[in-house]
Amino acid sequence: MEKGAKREGLTPQEIADKYINIFEHDIKALNILEPNHKPRASQYIEGMIKMIQTLLEKKHAYITSLGVYFDVSTFPNYNKLNRQKLDLNIKGKGKGRAEDPEKRHFADFALWFFKKGSHQNALQTWPSPWEEGFPGWHIECSVMAKELLGNTIDIHMGGVEHIPVHHTNEIAQSESANGVTFVNYWLHNEHLNVDNAKMAKSQGTGFTLKEITDKGFDPLALRYFYLSAHYRSKQNFTWDALAASQSSLQKLREIVLSLKSQISQTSRFTLSSDKLNQLDQYRSQFQERISNDFQVPQALALMWEVTKSNIPSSDKLDLLFQFDQVIGLQLNEVTEEKIPEEVIRIANEREQARKTKDFQKSDELRKKIQELGYEIEDLADTYKLRKR
């Protein structure tokens, strides 16, 4: 927060507001459900101070001249999540710049930093029973979880990079303060690589959603791309992979439009027992896949299997819409798009050029169509237009 504030000449509050707004805009574009709560750490300082006081009273924490620290030696199962051997960890190999010589053990972590030493010029500080300062990173999550969800939560998610330190420290302080199990199930998402290397903005391989949409990609194509890999598997982002996801998404939309058209031309009829059983099997398989450690890629594959099945169009469409309540590609909102007359005019002109084998002109007109935001697909005796 402070780095961003100094870099952009804004206050920490302005930085928070700016990037929260960008984040929420992107979340909406990706069709991610709204959470019940959107806590900001700065709103829970009082609760953090209270939990730190509890840890001090229970002898799980101690005070130095630079801050308040959690004593890892008081929590026997400290490494139960990360499965590390604490004695083999090497002192001084972390990324933190400020080391406190008064710490009892190098693995002890900060609960509260005082406004002194390397933090003398901290931009965000609050009064406390000890000294003015600001909370450590880990205590924020424990307190917000406790106040909004309770002492024990069923599922805690996060990236695999949080296992060694952040989530390990959350467990230690939460269970030491509350006296009960903190989390029943931990779900850790693997890394997303870019061109088989770690994503890094400094290397030009970290992209915002705006940069992706500026290249003509639908935000839901990015959602489709993410859904195509299991959360515990590393995924490799490439522009070709995103283009393939966009193509698959577009194909699904075309299938939905085709099914709608077929339904409008036929009336519903009573399904045979075999067809009813087939529908029930599809529903059961879908539920089983998403319930078994969130096997979303397999659930997505089942949607494609449904599109190729021989069940009636109306029931096929109903199934796709039911499954999409989980998958979230907004298939129920797909409508026939009105293509601009200018695009149709150029497409017709290109079709004539193609028929007279004027391939140079045909290629030029294809590029014009693409510049207008559309793709043209050549068929046997005609063509098909779609938005890029």
Question: 35-189: which CATH number, 2.30.30.30, 3.40.250.10, 3.30.390.50, 3.40.50.620?
Answer: 3.40.50.620
Global pTM value: 0.81
Supply the pLDDT for residue 269: 56
Question: pLDDT tens digit string along 13-25?
Answer: 888 899 999 999 9
pLDDT tier at 83, thresholds 50, 70, 90: confident
Supply the pLDDT for residue 294: 94
pLDDT tier at 250, thresholds 50, 70, 90: very high
User: 197-333 sits in which CATH class?
Assistant: mainly alpha
pLDDT exceeds cutoff 90 at 53: yes
pLDDT exceeds cutoff 80 at 236: yes
How far is the first Cα of the chain from the last one, in angstroms, to the nearest whole number?
Answer: 37
For residue 93, give both structure tokens: 């190999």
Supply the pLDDT for residue 322: 96
pLDDT tier at 91, thresholds 50, 70, 90: low
pLDDT top residue among 195 and 189: 189
Question: pLDDT tens digit string along 325-356?
Answer: 999 999 999 887 777 888 888 988 998 888 88
Supply the pLDDT for residue 26: 95
Query: Who's near 62: CB < 8 A, 6+ residues apart?
Result: 56, 68, 69, 71, 104
pLDDT top residue among 375 and 90: 375
pLDDT exceeds cutoff 60 at 95: no
pLDDT exceeds cutoff 90 at 239: yes
Supply the pLDDT for residue 96: 46
pLDDT tier at 87, thresholds 50, 70, 90: low
Supply the pLDDT for residue 231: 95
CB atoms within 10 A of CB 298: 15
pLDDT exceeds cutoff 90 at 187: yes
pLDDT exceeds cutoff 70 at 88: no
What are the sequence ranges of the domains in the chain?
Answer: 35-189, 197-333, 341-387
What's the whole-number mean pLDDT along residues 186-199? 90
pLDDT tier at 267, thresholds 50, 70, 90: low
Q: What is the mean pLDDT of the chain?
A: 90
What's the whole-number mean pLDDT along residues 142-162? 96
Supply the pLDDT for residue 305: 96
Cα 354–Cα 359–Cα 363 angle in degrees, nearest 5 = 95
pLDDT tier at 109, thresholds 50, 70, 90: very high
Supply the pLDDT for residue 204: 74
What's the whole-number mean pLDDT along residues 75-95? 71
pLDDT top residue among 215 and 172: 172
98-115: burial string, b at 16+ Cβ within 10 Å, e else: eebeebeebbbbbbbbbb
Q: What residues does 112 pair with on adjacent strands?
A: 68, 135
Supply the pLDDT for residue 154: 96
Query: Who's near 277: CB < 8 A, 6+ residues apart?
Result: none
233-242: burial string, b at 16+ Cβ within 10 Å, e else: eebebeeeeb
- The strand pair at 67-70 and 109-114 is best described as antiparallel
